[in-house]
Structure 1
Amino acid sequence: MIVARVTPIGGARVSLLGSRGSKASERVLWDLRIEELVDDILGKNKDQFLADVFKEPLTDRDAITFRQRVFEDLMDERAYAVARGFVEGVKEVSRLLSLEADAYEEFRYGL
């Protein structure tokens, strides 16, 4: 798995996802209504990896600051439109690759 990384002002390399492998308690997830937020953000066909990332506590200060800056940038409608277009493009490429793989499997014995 490729993990996006950023070099914050302090110079240390930090995963944008924070430390992986932990999960907030069910009580915290319920209190903060995280499931509802994840559903609203990711939609019906949510990616399970991203859904799980939203449920992990983020404790690294540099990663927290970076995420806050990303969301501040996304408040700009132009930046949001570019990011949304990129995500839609990635989804389309993924869909086409899946179609290609399915077609190959269907016809590979006839080659």
Structure 2
Amino acid sequence: MHSSAVLVAAALAASATTTALAISCYNATQCTTCETTASLNSAAQAFCSASGWERTNFLPWGNAQIMLEGSLDSQQTCLQGIANIVNQCYGVRDGGIFTFTSPGHNARLDVDFCSCE
């Protein structure tokens, strides 16, 4: 019985450190004035530097914009989140959303590639 309790406690401890990540692309595809992937990479560098990933933040970048609600756990997560959105959604949709959850951090990172104006 004692070993079962230890196994349950170990499983609970492992689940407490689990990180959840999700990428979803926008439904929209009608905008034509979009930033290039190189420009979006520069925007990611600007946004994720200077602790922009630690709190709710917004960066307009030409025809694009990056918005963060909440906080991420690191600059690397910020850069990877934006890169994942660009890799999965660019050329297919007008942007995407990266949802991040880990102990102490919940965030919604929204990258809009285009302006429809």
Select the structure that is richer in helix.
Answer: 1
Specify if TM > 0.5. Answer: no
Select the structure that is richer in strand.
Answer: 2
Q: Structure with the greater relative contact order (CA < 8 A, sep ≥ 6): 1 or 2? A: 2
TM bracket (short chain):
under 0.3
Q: TM-score, normalising length from structure 1?
A: 0.23
Q: TM-score, normalising length from structure 2?
A: 0.22
